[in-house]
Amino acid sequence: MNTSHAFDLDAPPLGARALPAATDHAFQALRWAELIGPHAIDEISALTPLPRTNAGWVGAYLHLARGARTAGRDFDAVVYERAAQFFMSGDDPRRFPIRERFVDFMRHRFSRYPVGVPCDGAVLAAYDLPARGLGPGEEPHSTWVVFGGFDSYIEEWFPLLDAVARRGHRVIAFDGPGQGGVLEEQGVPLVAEWERPVSAVLDHFDLSDVTLVGLSLGGELVIRAAAFERRAKRVVAWDVMNDFLDVLMQQVAPVPPHVGRALSGLPGVLVDGLLALASRRPVVQWGLEQGMRVTSSKSPAQFLRFAGRLRTREVSEQVRGDVLLLAGRRDHYVPLPQLNRQARALTGARSVTTRVFNDAEGCAAHCQVGNLGLAVRTILAWEEPLLHRD
């Protein structure tokens, strides 16, 4: 395997190096820079003028991609293109060619190719990363089963997951309904019943004892899946999320959770009208359009009603495994109170551990972007004694 851009779990944190940009644009820039390397922050910061709109960021990232490709930095180029694609509208004709280039490149770079897993009429793309760094005859320390959230491709995580495999853990990573190629190529929208794709993957690979890891919105989906899937012996919500509607409303119009839920229950015409007012902010309009595309909703009101189903309160008590809940002190997506709410609700879990990351650690943001290595080391340290417990 070509090991350039191999992720070093012990590298110094990239940190939350500030950009003079809106919070979400700055966060996304840090997200892509964590893949590319610290020089990406310098390249992005040098943009003049720094973009202020989604369309401006699309053009800026494509400009950086062209420069990287001219310089022979093909890895950087496809990541910059993926960054541009992230902010494109769903009907932008550039989206799919960029996806194809990115996915093909990552598969070849890391020598990982998908296995098709049938699930409810769809075919999930799952990747099997074998454990490495083991002695002769030594079994993998554990098997991780990993999935993303609302808008990532699982191939984005190859550098990080490959680093976990190099530590002696087998990693099965997949996109489910509403994610990656399952959405983009098959048109299969997100489902709330996440135990279905998880069970399909566990069945396909004949797994009986796994560490189940959900990223971003996956922090909600992982709890839902673990409530129904007893083979999830260890459960990691990276980050915690117990109520997606609460998360969504914080972006649209910050209100208490009960108010957001009441609004989502109003007649659709009224909800659409209220959201039309909120969506005068371009980032809100983009988010609603993205949400409708991912969930195959016909209106913003329908999307909000679906978002209301993505919560864990009704199923948390059914989780029986050991649970690790991660959170960022300054997560601008997930309100921090969701951490304690989720921890208190896991009344049937074998154990519940919480970890809040702060500014000094360089990863107080969503999903510990800025110091992903610390997040992985935290999971490994939490998991290790559980693997040897009677």
Place of tokens 């551990």: 353
DSSP 196-212: HHHHHHHHHTT-SSEEE
The whole-number pLDDT of residue 261 equals 61
**Helical segments of 131-256, H only:** 158-166, 180-184, 195-204, 218-228, 244-252
- For 114-243+310-387, CATH number? 3.40.50.1820
Report d(CA 72, CA 68) in Å as an integer: 6
Residues 6+ away with beta carbon under 8 Å from 11: 373
Report d(CA 140, CA 132) in Å as an integer: 8
Q: With the CA atoms of 128, 132, 136 and 137 taken in that order, what torsion angle do they form, in degrees rounded to the nearest 10?
A: -30
The whole-number pLDDT of residue 317 equals 98
Report d(CA 167, CA 172) in Å as an integer: 14
For residue 169, the cross-strand partners are none
Q: Nearest to residue 146, comparing CAs of 20, 234, 17?
A: 234
Q: Nearest to residue 381, comparing CAs of 355, 343, 342, 358?
A: 355
Structure tokens given for 144: 């991780």
Q: Nearest to residue 348, comparing CAs of 320, 388, 325, 377?
A: 320
Give the amino acid at 314. Answer: E
DSSP assignment letter at 138: P
* 3 state DSSP class of 180: helix
Is residue 243 a contact partner of residue 286, using CB atoms and an 8 Å limit? no
306: alpha, beta or left? (left if phi > 0; alpha if psi -120 to 50): alpha
**Helical segments of 21-73, H only:** 23-36, 39-45, 54-70
Structure tokens given for 32: 């892509």
Place of tokens 């296995």: 115
The whole-number pLDDT of residue 270 equals 58
Q: How many CB atoms lie within 10 A of CB 223?
A: 31
* 3 state DSSP class of 116: strand
Per-residue pLDDT of the chain (390 residues; tens, 9 = 90+): 334 567 889 888 876 556 666 688 888 999 999 999 889 988 998 988 888 888 999 999 999 999 999 999 999 999 999 999 999 988 899 999 999 999 999 999 999 999 999 999 999 999 999 999 888 889 999 999 999 998 889 999 999 999 999 999 999 999 999 999 999 999 999 999 999 999 999 999 999 999 999 999 999 999 999 999 999 999 999 999 999 998 888 776 665 566 556 666 656 565 555 555 555 555 667 778 888 899 999 888 888 889 999 999 999 999 999 999 999 999 989 999 999 999 999 999 999 999 999 999 989 999 999 999 999 999 999 999 999 875
Q: How many CB atoms lie within 10 A of CB 217?
A: 27
Residues of the chain with CATH 3.40.50.1820: 114-243+310-387
The whole-number pLDDT of residue 89 equals 86
Is residue 219 a contact partner of residue 241, using CB atoms and an 8 Å limit? yes
Residues 6+ away with beta carbon under 8 Å from 108: none
Q: Nearest to residue 56, comparing CAs of 29, 16, 96?
A: 29
Residues 6+ away with beta carbon under 8 Å from 120: 177, 191, 196, 200
